[in-house]
Structure 1
Amino acid sequence: MYKDIEDFPGSDFAVVTVGTFDGLHLGHQKIISRMKAIAAEHGGDTVLVTFDPHPRLVLNNNPTELRFISSQQRKMQLLEQFGIDNMIVIPFTIEFSKTPSEQFIKEYLVDKIHVKKLIVGYDHHFGRNREGNYEQLEETGEKYGFEVEEIDAQYLDDVAVSSTKIRNALMEGNVKLANQMLGYEYSIAGKVIEGNKIGRKIGFPTANIDVHDKFKLVAAGGVYACKVGVDDKIFYGMGNIGWRPTVGINGLVTEVHIFNFDADIYGKEIIIYFIDRIRDEKRFANLDELKIQLEKDKIATRKIVNEIL
């Protein structure tokens, strides 16, 4: 990854895409697959250009209300997994946002990256006020000697996949649909912190995690079937997102009960992968009622887990 475009050495045949890529969903993955195919054909390199912070955090009137599917760190992990050769992160500022589209292409893509092929999504706009579109890109490509290719939308049940649709699905708690559009499991990462240990008293100890990224989109409250990554190993369990309605504690909590697991993981970084939603969050009259429900949740979770194993 290059945090300064000046550090990028250039490429004899750079296959480039530009965008925010929130979630790196099926549509984004199609772009990446096409980039890799072209680069392999020409002995070139794939280059993904993105921005930090997210442009909406700079340009939006209420940036504190914005939430995103993937953090920059998670985006980097996924891009490495998907086989992108180079990722360039351009600092996004108010001043940078005023750059005309052709100037951006000339100064960044042509002069510094030496683009030979630019791959964009079906709804791609860029530059000042998102003024640049595909037709303008083609004209600019002819002027500066690079080709442009547009990738069609990817559809799931006749609906075009988009980051917005995935965010909406997550806010409704429909992680199964979100995962189908992502092509992998939505996840939340964080450090395990001390909780109130009430779960332990009723036979359901949980790992409470501190979500570092304040702009992370946390799915709707409820109980979920999950996979859990601990020390590069995968376990299964049931996660809870919510406001602790039964135990009377304020604050959003993300926690997971890991099946057949009793190691001390306080202070460790773990990642929770959400498979499917079991139920809404409920308030119970007492801990005995909560325990009865958690036993039912465990049965439901094991059934879901057994179906994917």
Structure 2
Amino acid sequence: MGLLIVAYLFLGGVGAGAFAVLALLDFKYGHAGGSLRATESGFAEGRHLDCLLKRGYAVSFVVLALGAICLLADLGRPEIAFLLFTRPTTSYISIGTFSLTALLLCVAYLAIIRFFSLPAAVRRAKPIALAVGFAAALFVMAYTGVFLQSMKAVPLWDSPLLIVMFFLSALSTGIALVMACSNGLFVRRPEKNLLSRLAAIDLAVIISELVVCLAYLLSVSMADLGAQSVERLLLGDHALVFLTGFVLCGLVLPGILNAYAARCEHGEWIDLAISGLVLIGGFCLRLSLVEARIHTSI
């Protein structure tokens, strides 16, 4: 299990988290015509939010597609990928593959109807695509943790809290990607607005992620090999990636910057900085947890 799986776990979580956020925005502010209402208090003009959805769906599709490519490349042989579709099973990887495919199709459809002026008949499937895509996105966000937690031979991954942590990380990095896509769209006003609300949610998610991470490390430390892996994360060869990359860059600094931004006037640079740090942290979390594993002897 190498960098391709780490990339898949990261890209799948980020893309699914971003789509979940975008789908909620589309549910709340979109209508059948595909544009946004511009009358909501505290929001920029509807065309700016419409552009955010265009950007967001396109970027989410690219990120998810890259994640799927990493997964297929890690399988090594094309016939294995073919069998996943022609001979589906109840295995985690089979279910995850179909969920990711369903999500990709929904994102592609929603991006197309945003970018192109299509007949009303084509647009009628939008509510269905949003609902199916949102459900698939939630599953993919959790699946990246389920995929690892199902491997009982690795004590470091043998905790349901890993699924919760990966889900929260996917949500946080998804919000970060959406905020990055908003750069230059002027969706900021003195009152509460889209970005400030997303930033407040992200801050709450980051705090929750930190609490769950501490509980997760304590839970896996109950096993001898799990404790050895935790020691590698906190004091050993993976401490730099875990503590600096994930804890500092992914949790502490974004939390401080979010708290600062909520109280003071600031430019778009701070939102980009928060987004970049959260994304770095999300990747480092998955990299460190994959690399610090110790298998039980069989």
- TM-score, with normalisation over the residues of structure 1? 0.27
Greater RCO structure (CA 8 Å; 6+ sep)? 2
Q: Quick check: which has more Rg, 1 or 2?
A: 1
Which of the pair is proportionally richer in strand? 1
Which of the pair is proportionally richer in helix? 2
